[in-house]
Structures are given as structure tokens and as C-alpha cells.
């Protein structure tokens, strides 16, 4: 480790590392403590965006200002995570709704009650054949 870094750089990188560690810890703590899956989804998404974002920015700053190397791998990782985290959270929520609809007893119902239905009498699109009330005109062909 290079110990000749300026004090300001050390301060900034240390603050970002501590921030990232705290957010990762809080996200996983929420994963343990919150009552049902729909609530539990909140915790790790914050850990992904803020926690890992802070750690990756700390890495960029450290390698740029203390070591003199310009690397963009970290930014690639954070951009990739920012793009993919909502998609995987959406997929997990879809599986949860799908299994709730089919009365899987192991799935936990939120204290706020089940998810409200979308307008038009349809169900949330998880895995369902097109039926009356499905938006779009692909019924009957």
C-alpha cells in the first residue's frame, strides 16, 4: 500500500469506505430484520447502489490520486450494477407474486397486505396465459 498519499485523499477515501461499509451492513441487516419479502427487497438494493457505489468511487479516487493510475474498471462495475440491480429485484418480486398467487405457504405476506391489483381486473404479469382484461390485442390469435 502506498503510504505517501496526501492527507485529503486519505480522508476522502476513508470516509467513502466507511460509508460503503455502513450501507452494506445496514442493507444486510434489513434483509434479516424486515418482516416479508416485499420489505426485504428494499434493504439490499440500497446496499447495492449506495454501499457498493461508495466503495467503488473510493477505489477510483484511491487509484487515481494516490497511485497515479487511471482505471475505469470500477466505473464499469458500478454502471453494470446500477443497471442490473432493478432488473433482478423486479424478477424476484415477480417470482414472489407468482408463488403467492399459487398459495405457496412458505411465501410471507407483507404486513401491509397483499399487493393491490392493477386496473382492469387483470393480475400482475408473472406467468399467466392471456385472458379477458389483459391489456393489448393479442387475445384470440
Binding site for other proteins (CB under 8 A): 1-2, 5, 10-11, 13-15, 17-18, 20-22, 24-25, 27-29, 31-32, 37, 40-41, 43-44, 47-48, 51-52, 55-56, 58-59, 62-63, 67, 69, 71, 73-74, 76-77, 80-81, 84, 87-88, 91-92, 94-96, 98-99, 104, 106-108, 126-127
Task: Determine the Cα–Cα distance for residues 103 and 38; give it in Å rounded to an integer.
Answer: 16
> Least distance (Å) from other proteins to the CB of residue 18?
6
Would you say 4 or 113 has its CB closer to other proteins? 4
* Torsion angle (degrees, nearest 10) of CA 10, 13, 18, 22: 170
- Residue 141: CB minimum distance to other proteins, A: 19
Neighbour-count burial of 110, counting CB atoms closer than 10 A to its CB (0-12 exposed, 13-18 middle, 19+ buried): middle
Q: How far apart are CA 67 and CA 90, in angstroms?
A: 39
Amino acid at each position: 500500500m502506498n503510504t505517501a498519499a496526501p492527507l485529503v485523499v486519505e480522508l476522502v477515501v476513508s470516509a467513502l469506505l466507511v460509508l460503503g461499509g455502513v450501507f452494506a451492513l445496514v442493507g444486510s441487516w434489513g434483509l434479516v430484520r424486515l418482516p416479508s419479502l416485499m420489505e426485504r427487497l428494499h434493504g439490499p438494493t440500497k446496499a447495492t447502489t449506495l454501499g457498493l457505489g461508495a466503495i467503488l468511487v473510493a477505489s477510483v479516487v484511491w487509484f487515481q490520486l494516490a497511485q497515479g493510475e487511471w482505471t475505469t474498471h470500477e466505473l464499469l462495475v458500478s454502471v453494470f450494477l446500477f443497471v442490473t440491480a432493478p432488473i433482478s429485484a423486479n424478477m424476484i418480486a415477480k417470482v414472489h407474486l407468482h408463488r403467492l398467487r399459487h398459495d405457496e405457504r412458505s411465501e410471507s405476506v407483507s404486513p401491509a397486505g397483499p399487493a393491490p391489483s392493477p386496473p382492469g381486473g387483470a393480475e400482475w404479469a408473472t406467468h399467466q396465459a392471456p385472458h379477458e382484461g389483459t391489456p393489448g390485442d393479442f387475445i384470440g390469435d
